[in-house]
């Protein structure tokens, strides 16, 4: 609706009042000028009272204002973490040299986005963060990020929903090498193939390349053939010699594949350390 503006009509002058008092009558909204000492002007006491009321009201409302700001910030954070993306920490060397992470060093902090997977599916070459879909992915001795105190644990769980605490789950980062409907396998004489075609993987760590060329193209772990179910992916680490990826879970009920529902996002950038800031590109190993 168009904005409406309230207006006041100027009252017609009262002839009788003019002749009786000899004072003029101003238009509406202006103070009356006349014979009264006070007229319609506010006295010092009234002004002081108004200031005191305003200060009191402001003092009374500030907790509400703070609560509203905090609530809005939490809602925005929740929406960003749920529908846009979030940041993660890389703790191991399984994705080197693409992503750096090792005991005693400064691991990369990465950012994922989810928007691509709301409207489409993961593609070969995507670097993804996902939750281990079956118990076979659980890391023995993985420390919980939750407190043993019931109250604190409840607070941490609540904060995890808005991204202020990490989820207490086994999250991993790997590269998609095969998607739904494709058949993947590895043989020492052929290396990794998808639908019978050898993969072209320039992102693999140099040590893994040398080992594959000189000793074993499967890095000691022949597998398959595995036909990836529709809606799932088969993922492997770029540092093949030090990555417990889909190859190591062939015997579970999903044959090492990862359902789309367990994918937390697509890695798009390294944001820390600052000297490693860069985007993370999806390099399709099935091309070239």
Write out the catalytic residue numbers: 94, 174
Instruction: State the Cα–Cα distance between residues 233 and 176, nearest whole angstrom.
Output: 6
Helix or strand (DSSP H, E) at 235: strand 232-236
Instruction: State the Cα–Cα distance between residues 259 and 278, nearest whole angstrom.
Output: 28
CB atoms within 10 A of CB 179: 22
CB-based contact 96:205 (threshold 8 Å): yes
Helix or strand (DSSP H, E) at 72: helix 44-79
Alpha carbon separation from 288 to 123, 220, 233, 239, 244 (Å, rounded)? 16, 25, 21, 21, 26
CA angle 112, 118, 119 (to 5 degrees): 120
Query: For strand 223-227 and strand 197-198, is the pairing parallel, antiparallel, or unpaired?
Result: unpaired
Q: Whose CA is closest to 86, among 283, 265, 224, 227?
A: 265
CB atoms within 10 A of CB 175: 27
Instruction: State the Cα–Cα distance between residues 240 and 97, nearest whole angstrom.
Output: 11
CB-based contact 285:201 (threshold 8 Å): yes
């Amino acid at each position: 609706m168009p904005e409406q503006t309230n207006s006041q009509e100027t009252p017609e002058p009262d002839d009788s009042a003019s002749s009786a008092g000899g004072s003029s009558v101003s238009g509406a909204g202006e103070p009356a000028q006349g014979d009264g000492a006070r007229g319609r002007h506010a006295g010092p006491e009234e002004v002081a009272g108004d200031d005191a009321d305003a200060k009191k009201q402001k003092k009374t409302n500030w907790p509400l204002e703070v609560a509203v700001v905090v609530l809005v910030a939490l809602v925005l954070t929740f929406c960003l973490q749920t529908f846009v993306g979030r940041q993660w920490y890389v703790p191991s060397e399984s994705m080197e040299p693409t992503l750096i992470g090792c005991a005693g060093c400064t691991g990369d902090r990465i950012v994922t986005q989810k928007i691509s997977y709301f409207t489409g599916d993961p593609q070969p070459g995507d670097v993804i963060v996902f939750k281990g879909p079956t118990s076979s992915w659980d890391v023995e001795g993985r420390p919980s990020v939750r407190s043993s105190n019931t109250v604190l644990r409840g607070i941490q769980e609540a904060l995890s929903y808005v991204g202020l605490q990490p989820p207490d789950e086994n999250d991993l980062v790997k590269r998609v090498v095969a998607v739904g409907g494709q058949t993947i396998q590895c043989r020492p004489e052929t290396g990794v193939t998808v639908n019978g075609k050898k993969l072209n993987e320039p992102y693999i760590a140099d040590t893994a390349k040398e080992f594959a060329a000189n000793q074993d193209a499967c890095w000691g772990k022949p597998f398959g053939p595995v036909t990836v179910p529709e809606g799932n992916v088969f993922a492997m680490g770029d540092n093949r010699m030090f990555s417990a990826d889909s190859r190591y879970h062939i015997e579970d009920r999903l044959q090492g594949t990862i359902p789309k529902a367990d994918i937390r996002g697509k890695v798009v950038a390294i944001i820390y350390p600052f000297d490693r800031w860069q985007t993370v590109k999806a390099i399709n190993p099935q091309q070239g």
